Amino acid sequence: MKNILVTGGAGFIGSAFVRRMVSKHPEYAIVVFDKMTYAGNTDNLIPVSKSQNFQLVQGDIADREAVRSAFESYGIDTVVNFAAETHVDRSILSPDAFIYSNVVGVHILLESAQKHGIERFLHVSTDEVYGDIEGDHLSVEDDPFKPNSPYAASKAGGDLMVRAYHVTHGLNTVVTRGSNTFGPYQYPEKLIPFFITEALEDRPLPVYGDGLQMRDWLHVDDHAGGVETVLLKGKAGEAYNIAGENQEHNIDVIRLMLKLLNKPETLIKYVPDREGHDRRYGMKCDKLKALGWEREYNQFEPAVEKTIAWYKENEWWWRKIKTGEYLEYYKQQYAARLAAASS
């Protein structure tokens, strides 16, 4: 392993992985391959932009020619695929892009990897492939897939295609399935950065349904560390959960953010629920721990506090995002919901 193509490396989790690998592993050349959709942002890569072992190429994983050219130009021997459409609400409003990148794109990347004799292919998947979990069950890697949103179904499709390339073609693949991730540089459409940046401006916080849904929260640096561990030590053909082991009700996360921001709970607005909203995600990650992975962030409150401090100190980063396309999306997703809100 020498030359690593990190697809989606300008996004939230991808860029955290790139920043980590570029500084920790000067022995690898890191080539980011990113379509630069609304969520891909070169600002996320500023900390590594001048590093010797870093390159940025604009390209789409569903474009065979662009993938071939990147593989050949940089002598790529390893692929880490973060490229994906990721936001559940957008997958309900317009699912086409999800099928295109998360299913067709993954397939084209796999096919190209196989043709070019790629030595290792790591695919980044999600706990959402397991669907809503019942009782106090925690998902393990061999659990059946029961995706419920178009986003989750598209990720399950890509995840299974990776399996098929391993079994059918003998491609050296590994898959990671991460929990809900938070931290610096997260596009402010996801719960934590959306609510932090809205609360800083004293704007209403639209809580879907009763707010009692549960998510398992994982810091982005721990997610990136999990991907690194699986890349270096995972067994070919296997999948590994990356969990925060920190399940919280949405409303408790929201109240904690308001407390840390010193903002009133009157900002909370209960709005009509997301369609098909999963109640709970939670996973075991013993398999990853057996490879030696450990979390750096084991306490949720200080991790949220640090994240809030980052958004306060980096208004330049998110203020320019919350314009144009973002405002269009906001209107489509929230205008009618907020009009129907109960406090």
For the annotated catalytic residues, the residue numbers are: 127-128, 151
Residue from 122, 191, 220, 308 touching ligand TYD (CB under 6 A): that is: 191
Using CB under 6 A as the binding rule, whether residue 250 contacts ligand TYD is answered as yes
CB 283 within 8 A of CB 177: yes
CB 175 within 8 A of CB 239: yes
How many residues lie near ligand TYD (CB under 6 A)?
12
- Bridge pairing between strands 247-249 and 214-219: antiparallel
- Distance CA(296)–CA(229), nearest Å, equals 14
The HSE-up count of residue 293 (CA atoms within 13 Å, CB side) is: 28
Using CB under 6 A as the binding rule, whether residue 155 contacts ligand TYD is answered as no
Question: If you compute the radius of gyration of the chain from its CA atoms, what whole number of angstroms results?
Answer: 19
- Distance CA(281)–CA(274), nearest Å, equals 16
Residue 126: count of CB within 10 angstroms of its CB: 24
Contact pattern from residue 263 through residue 302 relative to ligand TYD, giving x for each residue in contact according to CB under 6 A and a dash for the rest: -----------x----------------------------
Span of 53-61, 206-214, 232-240, 286-294 interacting with ligand TYD by CB under 6 A: 206-214
User: How near is the Cβ of 82 to ligand TYD at its closest, in Å?
Assistant: 15
Kindly list the distances between the CA atom of residue 119 and the CA atoms of 37, 114, 150, in Å, as whole numbers in the listed order: 28, 9, 31
- Quote helix, strand, coil % in the chain, to nearest 5: 45, 20, 35
Nearer to ligand TYD, 112 or 180 (CB): 180
Using CB under 6 A as the binding rule, whether residue 194 contacts ligand TYD is answered as yes
Contact pattern from residue 209 through residue 248 relative to ligand TYD, giving x for each residue in contact according to CB under 6 A and a dash for the rest: ----x-x---------------------------------
Span of 7-15, 98-106, 202-210, 284-292 interacting with ligand TYD by CB under 6 A: 202-210
- Distance CA(236)–CA(218), nearest Å, equals 25
Residues of this chain, 160-189, that bind ligand TYD according to CB under 6 A? 180
Span of 190-198, 216-224, 310-318, 323-331 interacting with ligand TYD by CB under 6 A: 190-198
The residues binding ligand TYD (CB under 6 A) are 88, 180, 190-191, 194, 206-208, 213, 215, 250, 274
